[in-house]
Structure 1
Amino acid sequence: MHFSTLQYTSLQTIADTFNLAFSDYVIPMHFTEVQLIEKLTRDGINLEHSVGAFDGEKLVGFILQGLGQWEGLLSAYNGGTGVIPAYRGRKITQQLYAYCIPQLKAAGVEQCLLEVVTRNQVAVKTYKAIGFTIARTLESYKGEINTQSPTDLPSGIIYREVVDLNWALAETFWDYQPSWGYNFAAIQRIRQFTRLVGVYNKEHLIGYGAIHENTNRVAQFAIAPAYRRKGLGLHLFQKLATGKTAPLSVINVDDKSEVTLNFLDDIGLTPFLQQYEMTLKI
């Protein structure tokens, strides 16, 4: 077995290996080559920094990684680790990190970042053995939005689709920091697949929502604190759900943001996935 970066490995090979590795995962996943490209783009994955384990010419394990700033540090985000079933139990994930960390350090990377499903205790233990620690717990919700009409919306409130937002202002509405795959940089990377809806009091931005059209995932949403508990959030989600036949989902909400979790419960969504965000200083 040998290890190498993935820039010379075809996307179809990576997709096939990904699908086999995740075929029996706690939440089975399957990507076409086109869907994989969208995921890699959203997560900022760079195949020059992604690594694979090969048995001869056969890709049997991988870590998909992208570099970027996270909490003030140049970080390597793990957008997916997988080992195909026949090769598990050989500590391939540990070997992949042992192989890539020196290269990441040479590129100036200061920390590694990933998310792992909390009930996947085998993976959690593996990452802890490598040296990762839990930074926070993230909750994901999905379901059908309540169809009730918001009552007594304040006068002058306008909802409209927009090309761009005042992101610096939008950030002041947050109750928690979005995860890597749903932050501002991620939205911009797949802007062509993302619909933005701004909430305005006359011409002043007081809220917004961003939804990935291909997956029905709400990447971000927020209402300015002074305008909450007035029905604006429910109306925003109803706007985001317009024309959708499949349920919406909201991914990776910080579990310390009780106001957000309560709101999602109130509008009809239910929790379906819990993940740990984990970091490793290198």
Structure 2
Amino acid sequence: MNITIKKLTDCTINEAVTAWNKGFEGYFVKLEMTPETFFNRLVNEGLSMNHSIIAFDQENPVGIVLNGFRIVDGKKISWNGGTGVATEHRGKGVSKLLMEEILKIYQEEEAEVATLEAIKENERAIRLYEQFGYQVVDSLVYLSGTPEIQSDSGDGILSRTIRPEQLPALPFYNGNVAWQCQWQSVKSGEAQIYFDHDHNPLGYALFKRVWDQEGNIEKVLLYQLELIQDFKEETIQAIFAKITDWENNPVNVITINASMKNVATQYLLNNGFTKTTEQVQMVKR
């Protein structure tokens, strides 16, 4: 085995997609991509081709790590957007070679915090990351359900629609969330700010609505729901009434990497939402 490491910029798109699909073959969730979906992921999630790497055994791509960098709360953070190694090369040290290389890249880029997520059941990967100084800081869940909304729920609060790019201007915006839930990864989505009837802010949501061919909301992907006042069940119901346009038809809501520390997540779990995937959020400072 003769492993060499190349930057993604020095590889073809087919080599990158082959490395990705081989690297996540038999994974806990299906992550297979085409050249189009791979390229879209790089763009939509702000991943850097110049700082992502592919491992080759001779001419064969056998491993990959995608990386991105952002400034969050004044600190430069890095995100490992996927580490995969081909089945036949697992357990042979390729993962360690990749991790050593990306930590050099993070150091060169003067990143202060390194972040990643790993499927909770992927104990082998979690142990690897821990060997390189990462620590579990949170549990993140994908939840799915249809919120029960009373007919007058939406009347309880006021809302204002803004662009996701405007969220950081809010004094109560929380930028310290999973990479895919930060506004930069949801530029094609929607954002709303919520107020009580005295115009005191209650919180905000960042989400994407998916529409069917009849023009009805089919489902909502919820990336952030942050409350800044004391938790009230009626406030949550009112927010979902605003997001889902409940008057037309029941709408399925899917949370994306929702923090288990968030009171809204606990509310959904206690009110019929089911957990489809759980990840650990890991950080290396």
* 1:225 partner SS: coil
* 2:10 partner SS: coil
1:151-170 superposed matches below 5 A: 151=152, 153-154=154-155, 157-159=157-159, 161-163=161-163, 167-168=167-168, 170=170
- Mean CA deviation greater in 260-269 or 193-202: 193-202
Kept in 2, the 8 Å contact 1:170–1:207? The answer is: no
* 2:50 partner SS: coil
Q: Determine which of 205, 209, 213 is the counterpart of 1:209.
A: 205
* 1:15 partner SS: helix
Q: Aligned equivalents of 1:35 and 1:268: distance in 2? A: 32
Tell me which residue corresponds to 1:146.
Answer: 147
Code of the residue aligned with 2:208 in structure 1: it is H
- Given the alignment of the two structures, is residue 41 of structure 1 paired with residue 43 of structure 2, yes or no? yes
Structure 1 unpaired stretches of 5+: none
Instruction: Give 1:170 deviation, angstroms.
Output: 4.9
1:69-148 superposed matches below 5 A: 69-70=71-72, 72-143=74-145, 145-148=146-149
1:237-256 superposed matches below 5 A: 237-239=243-245, 247-256=252-261
- Pair 1:207–1:37, CA change in 2 (3 A): farther
Offset from partner CA, 1:150-169 (integer Å, 9 cap, x none): 445546x4556544575257
Structure 2 unpaired stretches of 5+: 211-218
Tell me which residue corresponds to 1:194.
Answer: 189
- Pair 1:37–1:241, CA change in 2 (3 A): farther
Kept in 1, the 8 Å contact 2:224–2:258? The answer is: no
Offset from partner CA, 1:232-278 (integer Å, 9 cap, x none): 13313423997898x43212222223x22232135542112221111
Q: Aligned equivalents of 2:53 and 2:244: distance in 1? A: 41
Instruction: Give 1:172 deviation, angstroms.
Output: 2.2
Give the fraction of aligned pairs with identical amino acids, expressed as a percent: 19
- Pair 1:213–1:80, CA change in 2 (3 A): farther
Instruction: Give 1:202 deviation, angstroms.
Output: 6.8
Instruction: Give 1:2 deviation, angstroms.
Output: 0.5
Code of the residue aligned with 1:181 in structure 2: it is Q
Kept in 1, the 8 Å contact 2:76–2:113? The answer is: yes
Kept in 1, the 8 Å contact 2:116–2:283? The answer is: yes
Instruction: Give 1:73 deviation, angstroms.
Output: 3.2
Tell me which residue corresponds to 1:183.
Answer: 182
Code of the residue aligned with 1:251 in structure 2: it is I
* 1:7 partner SS: helix
Kept in 2, the 8 Å contact 1:7–1:48? The answer is: yes
The alignment yields a C-alpha RMSD, in angstroms, of 3.2
